[in-house]
Amino acid sequence: MPMVIAIDGPAASGKGTLARRLADHYGLPHLDTGLLYRAVALTLIDAGASLDDEQAAAQAAASLIADRLADPRLRERAMGEAASRISGIPAVRAALLAWQQRFAGTPQGAVLDGRDIGTVICPEARVKLFITASAGERARRRHRELTGRGESVTLAAILADIEARDARDASRSTAPLKAAADAVVLDTTELDADEAFAAARAVVDRAR
């Protein structure tokens, strides 16, 4: 069985950094699935289409190409918001499901991080981690990251974004954010990146 590691959690929980480090450590390809939703949103924005245009969004998801995932604009704060808005559209999720399952289905295995990897995309994953941290701590981390990249934004604005996104991601009817019943929950509020990595590695090593 290929080694698939599914990592889920709310915005700015540290799951992305952790997923990248695990992928490096175990020599597996990594997919940040948030980028897929961000890329669909960016396609709509670039086309001048509304984020509420379900048909355009479904079309953008169905024709998404990997090259789009390298666009630096995907990392901007506004794109996280836009991605969250289109991510509730079932046809978008259906189109991206196939994309993600192709990525995870190779013989070598993969690390995927997102919101519904352990529950919907890879329910058979060998390892499932659910990474969380308090909203305040996640806001501080995201604020550091964005201001480090030169975006000018207040901590209060980030906290408001994070709380709104948590509520939207957890309450949507299609694939809401929640830990799979068989996921190991890792709360990183009190952990630095190295400590979180060590804890995650211990979980993976137990499953190998």
Q: Among positive and negative, which fits the CA dihedral 83, 87, 91, 95?
A: positive
**Looking at residue 107, what DSSP letter applies?**
T
From 7, 83, 110, 191, residue interacting with ligand C5P (rule: CB under 6 A) = 83
From 21, 158, 165, 183, residue interacting with ligand C5P (rule: CB under 6 A) = 165
**Looking at residue 196, what DSSP letter applies?**
H
From 5, 64, 68, 87, residue interacting with ligand C5P (rule: CB under 6 A) = 87
From 5, 28, 59, 114, residue interacting with ligand C5P (rule: CB under 6 A) = 114
115 is a site residue for ligand C5P (CB under 6 A): yes
- The residue number whose beta carbon is nearest to ligand C5P equals 34
**Looking at residue 106, what DSSP letter applies?**
S
Binding residues for ATP: 9-17
| Residue bearing tokens 């981390």 | 141
Per-residue string for binding with ligand C5P, 180-199, x by CB under 6 A?
--------------------
Could you tell me which stretch among 55-63, 82-90, 183-191, 197-205 binds ligand C5P (CB under 6 A)? 82-90
- Report helix, strand or coil for 31: strand
Shortest distance in whole angstroms from residue 17 CB to ligand C5P: 12
Closest listed residue to residue 11, CA positions, set 121, 194, 139:
139
From 21, 30, 38, 143, residue interacting with ligand C5P (rule: CB under 6 A) = 38
AA identity, residue 14:
G
Q: How far apart are CA 33 and CA 49, in angstroms?
A: 22
Tokens of 136: 């305040």
43 is a site residue for ligand C5P (CB under 6 A): no
